[in-house]
Amino acid sequence: MAILNILRYPDPRLHMVADEVAEVSDDTRQLVSDMAETMYQAPGIGLAAPQVDRLLRIIVVDISEHQNDLRVFINPQIIDKDGVRECEEGCLSVPGIYASIQRAERIRVRALDENGKTFELEADGLLAVCIQHEIDHLDGRVFVDYLSRIKRDRIIKKLKKGTRS
């Protein structure tokens, strides 16, 4: 296993759309393992492959308190959504920045697991928010893209100032 480098906003690679995984292979499983280790070390509750500069439709999520409930979604698709929830979000690619974002309260997602088996999952609350946030990364979208241009510009200035320190 390896700790991968997490891209930082406003890196343009975070706005690229990820490719479908054609076949779940040992390389795919290794990437999943490395992503999980990277997410736990960061620490975070979700990570998408584009955040570690791999343009593949893979996300890992673990919202458990003890980091013992890893969920893997390969080629995830939201097939149903319901309700609205506003939640304060942060992102490993936008460190130290939090904003209130509206998402669906409940979702149904279809994906492949790390063995290539199709599954469906109904999620609500924080799990639903986290899955939607990570799927956004697969589509080239970062949570700050939901904010106004002025707020995004302020965030970019703050992040650039932080890297100079």
- Confirm whether 134 is a catalytic residue: yes
Classified as helix, coil or strand, 119 is strand
Q: Which residue in 20, 65, 89, 134 is the catalytic one?
A: 134
* Range 140-145 contact pairs with CB under 8 angstroms and sequence separation of 24 or more: 140/14, 140/15, 140/16, 140/17, 140/18, 140/50, 141/15, 142/9, 142/14, 142/15, 142/91, 142/93, 142/94, 143/89, 143/91, 143/94, 143/99, 143/101, 144/9, 144/91, 144/94, 144/97, 144/99
Catalytic positions? 134
